[in-house]
Amino acid sequence: MLVGLGLGPGNPELLTLRAVRLLKEADTVFVPGRIAADLVAPYRESVMLDFPMTGDEDRIRACLEANAEKIAPVAKTGLAVFGILGDPNFFSTFSRLTAILAERHPGIACRTEPGISAITAFASAADVPLAGSFIVSDGNKDPSALIRLKARHPQKIVSDLRREGYREFVLVERMFFSDMKVYRNDEIPEKTDYMSVLYAGR
């Protein structure tokens, strides 16, 4: 198995307890650069992989393929952990890496463990309370996804969002509690718990 592990915004005290446990349990820990390696170092050694900062898609693809081949032997027989700054599901290379692994080694299971993202870290660092709706963007004027908090009546929300062009829906109820439930598309219930988050993708 390969686990994409969020290491937080760069301060070693902002690693989660789960992150520390997984770093210690892993057969091999891979990291994309020196900052991540330094965060991991108090708990174990890591293998640094090359992820070039470039707009050359051919070079990026070649590096991703090479990195997938380094990770695959560990992930096939044990636990490979890929430690990433921030969160592995927010603007990270992890999804591209797992897509290549799925092509070349379809039997390898992949999952993610959250870390403190730049979004929540920014609110603390800047002392900016985010109490209402806000937009997170990478500069693209046409957002590809929307996240709705406190989705108490998700079917109605989904119906409204379909009219806006959204087509993929995932609802997570009571996430990371023992009774967590995940609903997708046609499974989404009419009513749900206050602690529910709905994802909508175009």
Sign of CA dihedral 4, 9, 10, 14: negative
Structure tokens at 183: 């609903």
Report pTM.
0.85
Half-sphere exposure of 61 (CA within 13 A, CB side): 4
The model's pLDDT over 40-61, given as tens digits with 9 standing for 90+, comes to: 999 999 999 988 888 888 999 9
CA angle at residue 173 from 169 to 174, to 5 degrees? 150
Determine the pLDDT at residue 104.
Answer: 95
Residue 137 binned pLDDT confidence (cut-offs 50, 70, 90): confident
Domain ranges within the chain, ordered by starting residue: 2-119, 145-201
Judge whether 151 and 157 are in contact, CB under 8 Å: yes
Q: Which CATH superfamily is domain 2-119 in?
A: Tetrapyrrole methylase, N-terminal domain (3.40.1010.10)
The mean pLDDT value for 155-182 works out to: 94
What single letter denotes the amino acid at residue 156?
A: K
The model's pLDDT over 171-187, given as tens digits with 9 standing for 90+, comes to: 999 988 999 999 999 99
Task: Return the CA Rg of the chain.
Answer: 18
Judge whether 40 and 7 are in contact, CB under 8 Å: yes
DSSP assignment letter at 127? T
Determine the pLDDT at residue 35.
Answer: 92
What single letter denotes the amino acid at residue 124?
A: S
Residue 72 binned pLDDT confidence (cut-offs 50, 70, 90): very high
